[in-house]
Homo-oligomer: A and B are copies of this chain.
């Protein structure tokens, strides 16, 4: 006779084995590795919470210390491969297979380990896509998560960094998986319940707070005049004519420049209240002046940002906050918002090819996708109209039937023609293709595909790809803003001139911007200290950003 409760029985057995080490649900940190050996089974799918911000670092170390004879061949299914220990798990033979989304600081080592066959790669995902698979075919058997505090029933308080936790826990706990949380402290009553205790099986009290990376802080002091120029072009040439209110910004210096130009350059253009009022965005410190100037109505956040806690708490009209006053972030909902409720995604990249495909991969680094491909793709399931979306759709297909013509998400790539270390942004062929060939991947790790990109902004101007009618126009529009890179110098000058006459390419002077005006004096804040000042002392930057 078939049994249909095998998963439930297996979970009960795991919990029973772990309970020997616990008082109620609470396990001493010293017993964390024994807990892993008691609960985790060879071949398990394990989600180790580690996104691009907070890290379940204690549980990771505990898992790393298991006896590989007892716990081995794990299939890690996790947002971020960020800590060195995440990869040590594979070196030690504890883990075998990997499905993930992001690997910023480990991008070089992960590439090396993939080349060396040390890791069996499932796939590289976007966050939302990996979350989706948690409910279909990558459901974790064990989730190792991080929270600020827990009570003795296992109710968890995540504080501002809720991030992926509700999603991971829901997929695991309701499909017969075991949820283990590391917390900074066990308390009598949590300030708010981010995760109900009946979904949490074990709580480990860590001796130090979980690690959080300040990933979204850009020092205004490092913003260049060329970045300011691209920001001015974007505001006047894209935000204004489309009237983009609902949007997401990437994390680079170009979009930081835009954030700091809104209350100055944007204000002069009379755009306040007309653009950039509703964001799906982490709490970028660079947005403080725009918030304080009354530009921003509402921000929903993927995660939080180190140092922003008190500022957010004092600005509950703008941010989503809990009854305890602190931010409630949620990566799954914010990614969904970025996909379906935003009219624009704007961000920078490392390489753009002649079709407009872009990638942050180099031949020796696999940074993963994070959330950009999700937000930077046309959402074909979208059915609600908005003026920016409809206008982009009209530009793409002016002859189409009015009623059957869909709108288009604005997907903007912004950067200087030569990036860091003078490396050209534009290339004939993406490094991602070489990497895919070397790794025998089924498709190249393209961040944003050319057919989803609507605009490319450089200091040379704006290429509006929506107005291109074929592949060769598209190529020349890209070459036309590629400056003195090889790709730029390979342009067909006559065709580029023709595209400019049609408004496909717009130079700064075509929209009355004088590049000489792109001055650091335009920035609403020119240093981290200025941001602190704007915040009324509420923003508390991490020490590495303080030079006073």
Contacts and interface: CB of A to CB of B under 8 A. Distances in A.
Interface footprint category on A: 35 or more
Interface stretch (A209-217, A370-378, A417-425): A370-378
Interface stretch (A38-46, A108-116, A190-198, A224-232): A190-198
A484 interface: no
A282 interface: no
Contact of A333 (B170, B198, B384): B170
Interface of A: 2-8, 99, 122-126, 128-129, 131-133, 135-137, 139, 155, 167, 170-171, 173-176, 192-194, 196-199, 245-246, 278-280, 294, 298, 300, 314-318, 320-323, 328, 330, 332-334, 336-337, 339-342, 355, 357, 369, 373-385, 390, 402-407, 432-433, 436-437, 441-446, 449, 452
Nearest to A291: B4
Contacts of A407: 443
A199 B429 CA distance: 51
Contacts of A336: 128, 131-132, 135, 332, 336
Contacts of A436: 403
A456 to B, nearest CB: 18
Contacts of A136: 246, 278-280, 298, 300, 337, 341-342
Contacts of A376: 381
Contact of A131 (B278, B333, B442, B445): B333
A321 to B, nearest CB: 6
Contacts of A342: 136
Contacts of A341: 129, 132-133, 135-137
A383 B369 contact: yes
B383 A318 contact: no
A444 B135 CA distance: 33
Given A193-B196, A340-B128, A405-B443, A452 B174 contact: no
B4 A333 contact: no
Nearest to A444: B403
A341 B131 CA distance: 9
Which of the listed residues A246, A332, A403 has the most CB atoms from chain B within 10 Å of its own CB? A403
Which of the listed residues A135, A333, A378 has the most CB atoms from chain B within 10 Å of its own CB? A135
Contact of A175 (B126, B320, B382): B320
18 contacts: A4-B318, A122-B384, A123-B384, A124-B383, A125-B384, A128-B381, A133-B341, A135-B334, A135-B341, A136-B246, A136-B279, A137-B246, A167-B333, A170-B328, A377-B380, A403-B437, A403-B441, A404-B449
